[in-house]
Amino acid sequence: MTRKSKARKASLIAFGVVALAALSCYAEAETSGTADAAVVDSTTEAARAYKQALSTLSYVNAHSRHVASDTSAGSYMPQGYPTSIFSAFLPNIQGQGPIASAMRIVMKLRHQSWIPSFVSDYLGKELGGGRKKDEELQGKAIKVLDLLQHAAELGHQDALYALAKISLFPPNPYFPFDPRLSYHALSSHAANTGNASSQALLGFFHSTGYQHVVPVDQAKAQLYLTFAAHGGHKGAQMSLGYRYWSGIGVAENCMTALAWLMY
């Protein structure tokens, strides 16, 4: 093989190596761009689901007859204007108290001939409307939970915490009480963010064995409450003060208890 042929062969090999490297870099950039786009898309989808969940939750709270006092939607239901003259005087059949109970009893007897027709008509309309509204709100409550779980699975930490809080403290009767789901959501949230509120609630679970979700473990309770207290959680600080004062999970120490209570 001549020197000229060798030089040509070396040039071709060098060109092939450069072309292969360029192709590899292009493929890597393409893959990276696709991955970045997927991350952006999942983040956007999680934010959308969380926002929709909060909007639907506000709707359910606003139209629920019984709303917990600490919900952002408020603790009252807008009354609006009565749809008939009887609505201004007769209470709601879905309510509580002796009058509402009497109305439900009358409702069962409304087909009796001695019941005035305007009363039976009103009660039938009221009960039917109440059931439809309850079914609508129940469906929206399920939608809220589904949206929060979807957002949480996509990595939205606020959605994960909201899911835990709603499961432990249902804002109205349309949401199920699920302390086990709450505990697991709080565990994930605390591990991901170190959030003091999540750690304080985990301390509560372990210190009480609440609803038998986890066994009583004062050592774990002390650990979670200490992290939460150092994170600025006032409830955890007061809990530590009481635990040191009473000797729960730790040796009694009045000075340490006082320090936490005055923190």
The mean of the pLDDT values for the chain is: 79
If one counts the domains in the chain, the total is: 2
Do residues 62 and 183 both lie within one domain? yes
Domain boundary among 162, 193, 224: 193
CA-CA distance, 263 to 261, in Å (whole number)? 6
What is the total residue count of the chain? Answer: 263
Q: Which two tokens stand for residue 119?
A: 């009363």
Do residues 143 and 240 both lie within one domain? no
Q: Which two tokens stand for residue 41?
A: 């898309």
Classify residue 171 by its DSSP letter: S
pLDDT tens figures, 118-141: 655 655 555 555 678 889 999 999
Q: Residue 90 CA to chain centroid, in angstroms? A: 37
Classify residue 72 by its DSSP letter: T
Q: Is the dihedral of CA 62, 68, 74, 78 positive or negative?
A: positive
Report which residue type is found at 41: D
Q: What is the CATH number of the domain that holds 217?
A: 1.25.40.10
Do residues 244 and 176 both lie within one domain? no
CA-CA distance, 111 to 48, in Å (whole number)? 50
Do residues 210 and 170 both lie within one domain? no
Do residues 88 and 137 both lie within one domain? yes
1 within some domain: no
Q: Is 109 helix (H, G, I), strand (E, B) or coil?
A: coil
| pLDDT at 80 (0 to 100) | 35
2 within some domain: no
pLDDT tens figures, 99-113: 556 655 555 555 556
| pLDDT at 131 (0 to 100) | 79
Q: What is the pTM of this model?
A: 0.66
Residue 27 has pLDDT above 80, yes or no: no
Cα distances (Å, whole numbers) of residue 160 to 13, 169, 191, 210: 55, 14, 12, 20
Q: Where in the sequence is the domain holding 246, given as residue range(s)?
A: 194-263
Lowest mean pLDDT among 36-40, 141-145, 181-185, 193-197: 36-40
Calculate the CA dihedral of residues 7, 11, 13, 16 and round it to 10 degrees.
Answer: -170
Do residues 91 and 189 both lie within one domain? yes
Residue written as token pair 């509402």: 100
Where does the pLDDT of residue 252 fall: very low under 50, low under 70, confident under 90, or very high at 90 and above? very high
Where does the pLDDT of residue 64 fall: very low under 50, low under 70, confident under 90, or very high at 90 and above? confident
